[in-house]
Chains A and B, each alone.
Chain A
Amino acid sequence: MPSEFQITFEGRSIAAREGQSVAAALIAAGERCLRIDEAGNPKGAVCGIGFCWECRCSIDGVPDIRACMTPVRPGMIVRRQRGLDGCNDR
């Protein structure tokens, strides 16, 4: 894996480093809102260590993946889930 590469978040190109979590790369790029919940509340990373599940995103078409627990990969496509729409491409 190259040490620096790009991932995409909501169509926007984000710089990432090998070894970072998706949450870390997004936060470093200034992103905070990772999800809109069923009540319309914007949500982001809270606990940072995988127990709250607030940071869950659609990653490469698979929904409900915790951004804080998932390492970035080159070309990864990350999308915000909106309500019950998990951006599920399977």
Chain B
Amino acid sequence: MAAAIEGVRRGCRVTVIDEGPRPGGQIYRQAHPALPGEEFAEPAELDRKHRLLSAFQAVVERIDYRAEATVYAVFPNGEIHLAQGDRTEVLRPDAMIVATGVREQAIPFPGWTLPGVMFAGGAQSLLKAQRVLPGRNAVVAGCGPLPLVVAAQMLRAGGRVAAVASLRSLRTMLRHPRSLWRGRSILLEGLRYERTVRRAGVPELMGYVPVRAIGGERLEAVALARVDREGRVVPGTERRIACDLLAINYGFVANSELVAMSGAEMRRDPLIGGWLPVTDDYGRTSVPGVFAAGDGAGLRGALVAECDGTIVGAAASLSPTAVDGAALRAELAETIARRARHLDFQQAVRATLRLPIGIWRLVTDDTIVCRCENVHSSEIREALESGHRSLNALKRNVRSGMGWCGGRTCLHAIASLAELATGEAPSEMMTPRPMVRPVPFAAIARQKKAAAE
């Protein structure tokens, strides 16, 4: 949104291709106007959301805004292929900003495919945009700040939270005192969520993870246990908790398939995994005309993303010489400084998302890792032992990453399992190929037919 606003401000013709039905992305996801109820977020966050959405709404008439549209391929020649409804289209812009954000990650465990086990952000999305409780009696598990926020919001919405299992304490943030000071207002919001959870008397289990989800056709209970840094369950700590929702989040990786497909040079995020485009301060990738902004260019949170969008939107609107000139830096000085301040706070947050590689020992042989193709951890281990080390080779041999989700749910786990087994993370992404999203064949056929006529 911020990039589009800036592009319009600088007189560009801007097209926004949005997978969602209305603006907001994931963090600022809006409910349909007809739905009653409220969002249980902190007032300061809601203020930020409404401010940005209003600013976007003020210029949306001047933007070619495509809702429920999906880019399924980009090519090094600058073509963008998108699907909208039952049609496809090819665009050839002068510049492309990829702001595709991040997706959630889990550490798979036996039973995690049972209905009722959801990503925590997905559960949050049901709460905030759909105004329904994702479950009556929840257990929330993971690392970083999100599980606590989701637990708090569920409680505020009238749900019950039986336990919050946190892999490591958020007190690790205290190791970054300067960073915390810079982000003290956000920290206060976080503390208010923590207070909601504490006052409700929800047990917070430090160092605990789900080791088994239990149920027949749906989730009925979860077994939690404490683990050491090597991913070994501490004997005698297992406890079983009845629940109809297990909301999990163990971090985020970038949705970087499109920017990789454009030919941009990629690098691995050493802290939390996944692949990111190599970019400069203005979001420029190694491919002229291709930019990356927001969390998709590096997990840094909503506040950084908004500043980043403005900066990258400006750069995408100008010629490369203008971008490198001192004038632009002076013009954007305030936004650049704000971005740096927010980035500083994020150092403390990122530290809570680091997982020791040994934790992946939790993924037992009988655990399904690739859900789409039902590939078990044992099959991946055997393929690794046979010398298939790259994500492409694993895909060819055991089908992981070949299903409907295109590896979005499993690739981070597979890369981590490979690193645990071989001592080295795979150096390359699984090669992204069109289509990165399923597209109805009829839509492609229609495009070909129209082109032929």
Task: Determine which of B19, B32, B122 lies in contact with A46 in the assembled complex, contact meaning CB atoms within 8 Å.
Answer: B122
Q: Which of the segments B109-117, B286-294, B419-427 contacts the partner chain?
A: B109-117
Taking residues whose C-beta sits less than 8 angstroms from the other chain, chain A's interface range is 35 or more
Is there contact, CB below 8 Å, between B374 and A37?
Answer: yes
> Is B388 close to A, CB under 8 A?
no
Is there contact, CB below 8 Å, between A18 and B104?
Answer: no
A17-B34, A24-B132, A27-B126 in contact; A47/B103 too (CB < 8 A)? yes
B interface residues, tally (CB under 8 Å): 44
Per-residue contact bits, chain A 35-58, to B (CB 8 Å; 1 contact, 0 not): 001110111111111111110100
Is there contact, CB below 8 Å, between B114 and A56?
Answer: no
Is there contact, CB below 8 Å, between A49 and B121?
Answer: yes
Closest to A35 in B: B115
The prevalent SS among residues of B at the interface is loop
Is there contact, CB below 8 Å, between A53 and B123?
Answer: no
Is there contact, CB below 8 Å, between A43 and B408?
Answer: no
Is there contact, CB below 8 Å, between A27 and B405?
Answer: no
Q: Which residues of A contact B116 (CB under 8 A)?
A: 32, 44
> Is B130 close to A, CB under 8 A?
yes
CA A49 to CA B437, docked complex, whole Å? 13
Is there contact, CB below 8 Å, between B218 and A33?
Answer: yes
Closest approach, in angstroms, between the C-beta of B243 and any C-beta of chain A? 12
Closest approach, in angstroms, between the C-beta of A23 and any C-beta of chain B? 8
Closest to B35 in A: A19
The prevalent SS among residues of A at the interface is loop
Per-residue contact bits, chain B 403-439, to A (CB 8 Å; 1 contact, 0 not): 1110011000000000000000000000000000010
Is there contact, CB below 8 Å, between A64 and B218?
Answer: no
Task: Determine which of A3, A18, A54, A71 lies in contact with B371 in the assembled complex, contact meaning CB atoms within 8 Å.
Answer: A54
> Is A34 close to B, CB under 8 A?
yes
Is there contact, CB below 8 Å, between A52 and B32?
Answer: no
> Is A20 close to B, CB under 8 A?
yes
Closest to B136 in A: A30
Is there contact, CB below 8 Å, between A46 and B118?
Answer: yes
Is there contact, CB below 8 Å, between B130 and A21?
Answer: yes
CA A43 to CA B115, docked complex, whole Å? 5
Q: Which residues of B contact A28 (CB under 8 A)?
A: 132-133
Is there contact, CB below 8 Å, between A52 and B409?
Answer: yes
Across the A-B interface, the 6 shortest Cβ-Cβ residue pairs:
A48-B122, A19-B32, A44-B115, A24-B130, A32-B115, A53-B404
